[in-house]
C-alpha cells in the first residue's frame, strides 16, 4: 500500500507556475496586488490588460492558499438558502448576488477558452443532497422560490431520481445545472501565466509586512525591500497577515480538509457517482465530493473546527473524513487514500463575501467556502473599479462589522464546532 501524500492533489498533479520574477520588486507601481490566488491573479490580469503597471506580491507561491486547497467545485448559488438571503439582504440584493455566482462561472469558462488553459473545465451540475427528510422539505421550499424567481435552470429530484446520480441513500436533492468543476492547480498556474503575458509581474516568497499611506499612494514593506504603489488590492483571504488588522478582525480562518482516493475502476466510479456531478450534503458539518479527471473520489468537509492546517492537523481530519466516506459510501470503506490535505477558508460572520474599499485599500474576500467560483469574477470586478470603470458590485455598501472578541486568532472555533454538531444531532 502506498503512503498517503500530505499535499494538495491539485498542487501535486499540475505543473507549477514557473514565470515568477527572479529579481527584487521594482520601486514604483500603479497597483500592488497582495496574494496570488484566483482573486489576485484575475485582478492582475485585468489591470495589466487595462494598461496598469501591476505587481503581485505572494508570501508563498502561486496558488498556495485556498485556490490550491479546495474541493475543485465551481458551484453556483449562495452559501445561504435563497430564502434566507432574501430575508437577510432583501430580494434585489439576494438576486444580484445569486446572479454574480452565475456570472462567475461564465467568466471562468470564457477565460479558460480565451487563454487556452487546459484545466478540465466541465459544466457538471451540482446536487444539494438532503441527509434527512426535514432537510428535503427545506430544500423543496427553497427550490420553489429560487426556480421561480432567479434560476429556472434548476430541478428538484426525489430519492428515487437519485438512483442514476449517486450511489448512496439521500432523501432527495436540488440540481443546479449551471455548476461546474475544474482542475484547480492547472487553472491557477494558467491564470498566473496569462497575467504575466499581459504584463503583470509576480513575486513569490514576498510577504508584505507593512503598508503605510504616503502622498499619492502607499509604501509597502517586504523582506526584499520597500516599494510604492498608487493603489493596493488585498486578495489574501484567510491568509491575510498581521499587517492588516482591520481585515483580520472581520475574517475567521477556518480549516477545510480533503482526502482523495486512489483512481477508482470504472465500475467503482459508477457505483459511487454515476451522474459525475459535484455534490454537497445538507448537514451543518457536512461533506462535499466529486470525481477527479483520473477517477479519484475527492471527498472533503469541515471535519474539525480548527484554524490550523499542517500535516498533523490534516492527518487527524483525514481520519474523520475517511470514516465519513465509509458511512456515505460503504462500498469504498477499504479503498486506499492517496492524498490528504487541508487549507484555510476565509469565513465572514454572516458567510457572505465582501468587496470594496476600506482603510485606503481595495479588497475582495470573505468567500466562506464559495471562493473557487466567485473569486475570479470579484478580482476582475475590483480591477475595473481600480481602473475607474463603472461596475455593478452586488456587495456595494454592505455593512461589515468586526467579529466581537476576534483579534486575528479564532480561539472560539471549538465552541462553534460543538454547537453545530449539536444542531446536526437534533435537526
Q: What tens digit of pLDDT does each residue of 238-286 get?
A: 999 989 999 999 998 888 899 999 999 999 999 999 999 999 998 877 8
Name the pLDDT band for 358 (thresholds 50, 70, 90): very high
pLDDT, tens only, 144-202 = 999 999 999 999 999 999 999 999 999 999 999 999 999 999 999 999 999 999 999 99
pLDDT, tens only, 75-98 = 998 877 899 999 999 999 999 999
Domains of the chain, by residue range, sit at 9-421
391 pLDDT exceeds 80? yes
Fold of the domain spanning 9-421: FAD/NAD(P)-binding domain (3.50.50)
In angstroms, the Cα distances linking 182 to 70, 74, 129 are 11, 8, 21
* Predicted local confidence at residue 256, as pLDDT: 86
pLDDT, tens only, 99-116 = 999 999 999 999 999 999
* Predicted local confidence at residue 404, as pLDDT: 82
Q: Chain-wide mean pLDDT for the chain? A: 91
Statement: the pTM of the whole predicted model exceeds 0.85: yes
DSSP, res 258: E
Name the pLDDT band for 408 (thresholds 50, 70, 90): low
Task: Give the integer Cα–Cα distance in Å for 282 and 383.
Answer: 35
Which segment of 148-152, 297-301, 354-358, 407-411 scores lowest on mean pLDDT?
407-411
* Predicted local confidence at residue 310, as pLDDT: 65
H-assigned helices in 178-244: 184-198
Task: Give the integer Cα–Cα distance in Å for 80 and 211.
Answer: 34
Name the pLDDT band for 137 (thresholds 50, 70, 90): very high
* Predicted local confidence at residue 201, as pLDDT: 98
- 19 vs 312, residue with greater confidence: 19
* Predicted local confidence at residue 314, as pLDDT: 75
* Predicted local confidence at residue 255, as pLDDT: 83
Task: Give the integer Cα–Cα distance in Å for 136 and 189.
Answer: 39
Average pLDDT of span 25-43:
96
Average pLDDT of span 371-392:
96
Contacts 24+ apart (CB under 8 A), 416-423: 416/305, 417/285, 417/302, 417/304, 417/305, 420/284, 420/285, 420/305, 421/285, 423/284
Amino acid at each position: 500500500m502506498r503512503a498517503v501524500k500530505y499535499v494538495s492533489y491539485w498542487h501535486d498533479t499540475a505543473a507549477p507556475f514557473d514565470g515568477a520574477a527572479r529579481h527584487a520588486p521594482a520601486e514604483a507601481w500603479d497597483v500592488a496586488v497582495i496574494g496570488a490566488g484566483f482573486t489576485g491573479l484575475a485582478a492582475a490580469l485585468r489591470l495589466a490588460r487595462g494598461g496598469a503597471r501591476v505587481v503581485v506580491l505572494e508570501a508563498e507561491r502561486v496558488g498556495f492558499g485556498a485556490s490550491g486547497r479546495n474541493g475543485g467545485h465551481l458551484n453556483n448559488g449562495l452559501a445561504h438558502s435563497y430564502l434566507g438571503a432574501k430575508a437577510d439582504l432583501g430580494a434585489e440584493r439576494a438576486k444580484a448576488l445569486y446572479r454574480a455566482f452565475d456570472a462567475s462561472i461564465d467568466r471562468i469558462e470564457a477565460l479558460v477558452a480565451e487563454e487556452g488553459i487546459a484545466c478540465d473545465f466541465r459544466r457538471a451540475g451540482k446536487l444539494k443532497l438532503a441527509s434527512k427528510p426535514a432537510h428535503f422539505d427545506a430544500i423543496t421550499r427553497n427550490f420553489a422560490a429560487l426556480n421561480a424567481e432567479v434560476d429556472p435552470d434548476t430541478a428538484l429530484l426525489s430519492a428515487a431520481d437519485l438512483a442514476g446520480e449517486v450511489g448512496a441513500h439521500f432523501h432527495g436533492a436540488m440540481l443546479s445545472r449551471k455548476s461546474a468543476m475544474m482542475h484547480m492547480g492547472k487553472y491557477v498556474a494558467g491564470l498566473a501565466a496569462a497575467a504575466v503575458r499581459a504584463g503583470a509581474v509576480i513575486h513569490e516568497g514576498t510577504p508584505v509586512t507593512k503598508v503605510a499611506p504616503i502622498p499619492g499612494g502607499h509604501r509597502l514593506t517586504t523582506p526584499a525591500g520597500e516599494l510604492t504603489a498608487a493603489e493596493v488590492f488585498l486578495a489574501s483571504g484567510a491568509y491575510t497577515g498581521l499587517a492588516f488588522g482591520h481585515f483580520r478582525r472581520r475574517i475567521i480562518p477556518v480549516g477545510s480538509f480533503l482526502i482523495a482516493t486512489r483512481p477508482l475502476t470504472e465500475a467503482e466510479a459508477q457505483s459511487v457517482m454515476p451522474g459525475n456531478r459535484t455534490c454537497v450534503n445538507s448537514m451543518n458539518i457536512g461533506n462535499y465530493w466529486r470525481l477527479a479527471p483520473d477517477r479519484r473520489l475527492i471527498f472533503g468537509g469541515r471535519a474539525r473546527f480548527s484554524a490550523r492546517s499542517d500535516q498533523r492537523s490534516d492527518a487527524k481530519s483525514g481520519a474523520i473524513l475517511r470514516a465519513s466516506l465509509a458511512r456515505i459510501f460503504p462500498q469504498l470503506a477499504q479503498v486506499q487514500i492517496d492524498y490528504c490535505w487541508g487549507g484555510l477558508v476565509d469565513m465572514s460572520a454572516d458567510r457572505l463575501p465582501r468587496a470594496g474599499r476600506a482603510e485606503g485599500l481595495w479588497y475582495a474576500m470573505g468567500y466562506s467556502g464559495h471562493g473557487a467560483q466567485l473569486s475570479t469574477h470579484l478580482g476582475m470586478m475590483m480591477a475595473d473599479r481600480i481602473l475607474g470603470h463603472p461596475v455593478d458590485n452586488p456587495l456595494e455598501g454592505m455593512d461589515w462589522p468586526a467579529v466581537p472578541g476576534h483579534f486575528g486568532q479564532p480561539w472560539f472555533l471549538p465552541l462553534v464546532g460543538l454547537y453545530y454538531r449539536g444542531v446536526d444531532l437534533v435537526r
